[in-house]
């Protein structure tokens, strides 16, 4: 997996909190997280594709806009560049277990922007299968119901507590 650079204070908008992600390969990433929400653009879709390693191979303009990164920075970067510390590990565990079985996964996800803010999406991830082999994943994200966002935000707080990350 390509290593992700630490987030920089000069890129962050608003007051922020600091977190560190530790990866399986021993690397870590400094996250700077604010409470500034960017609402999903009504009527649009965020679309991206990754290779089997989870590196971004294609993304549309809405993805670029909402993430805050440039297209050049996103291409080849791990999709986990969007991973917000308020998302429980169990939610992503469910995602990968489902997708690895060759079936689609849908769920509500809080994504991290380059500026430290966040945006909620309703995401669907499906395996990209060529000649019977999974060669990557396609992810389509759309505007979530606000009722569902509130409901899931509370669920994720409980899950984080259970993971000892509250």
Partner 1 sequence: MTRQFVISPDVNVRNITDWFIFNTKVQRMTGEAFHATVYTDFADLHKAYSEGLADLVFANAADTATLVRDHGYLPIAAPYGVSKEASVVVAADGPLHALADLPAHLTVASTDAPDVERICRILLEPANLGAADLTLQVKPNPVLVAKAVMRDEVQVGFFPQDAYDELSAMVKEQLRVLIASKIYVVRNAFLASPAIAGLIGAIWAGLESMNNDPYSAELLTGLGAPHGWERVSIEDTRFMIDLMDALSQG
Site residues (vs partner 1, CB under 8 A)? 41-45, 47, 49, 58, 60-61, 104, 106, 122, 124-126, 128, 130, 138-140, 142-148
Complex with partner 1: residue 10 or 147, whichever CB lies closer: 147
Q: Which of 107, 100, 106 is nearest to 128 (CA)?
A: 100
- Output phi, psi for 113, to 5 deg: -90, 165
CB of 34 to partner 1, least distance (A): 24
Complex with partner 1: residue 45 or 159, whichever CB lies closer: 45
CB of 142 to partner 1, least distance (A): 6
Complex with partner 1: residue 86 or 143, whichever CB lies closer: 143
- Output phi, psi for 25, to 5 deg: -85, 10
Complex with partner 1: residue 51 or 143, whichever CB lies closer: 143
- Give the span between the Cα atoms of 78 and 125, in whole angstroms: 15
CB of 131 to partner 1, least distance (A): 11
Q: Which residues contact 110 (CB under 8 A, 6 or more apart)?
A: 84, 86, 87, 118, 119, 120, 153, 156
């Amino acid at each position: 997996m390509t290593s992700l650079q630490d987030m920089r204070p000069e890129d962050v908008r608003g007051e922020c909190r600091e977190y560190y992600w530790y990866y399986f390969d021993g690397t870590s990433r400094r996250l700077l997280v604010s409470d500034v929400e960017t609402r999903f653009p009504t009527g649009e879709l965020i679309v991206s594709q990754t290779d089997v390693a989870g590196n971004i191979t294609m993304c549309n303009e809405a993805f670029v806009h909402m993430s805050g990164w440039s297209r050049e920075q996103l291409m080849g970067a791990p999709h986990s560049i969007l991973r917000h510390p308020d998302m429980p590990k169990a939610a992503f565990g469910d995602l990968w277990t489902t997708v690895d079985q060759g079936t689609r996964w849908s769920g509500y996800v809080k994504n991290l922007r380059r500026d430290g803010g966040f945006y909620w999406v309703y995401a669907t991830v499906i395996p990209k299968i060529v000649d019977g082999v999974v060669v990557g994943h396609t992810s389509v994200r759309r505007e979530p119901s606000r009722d569902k966002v509130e409901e899931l935000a509370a669920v994720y707080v409980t899950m984080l507590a259970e993971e000892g990350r509250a």
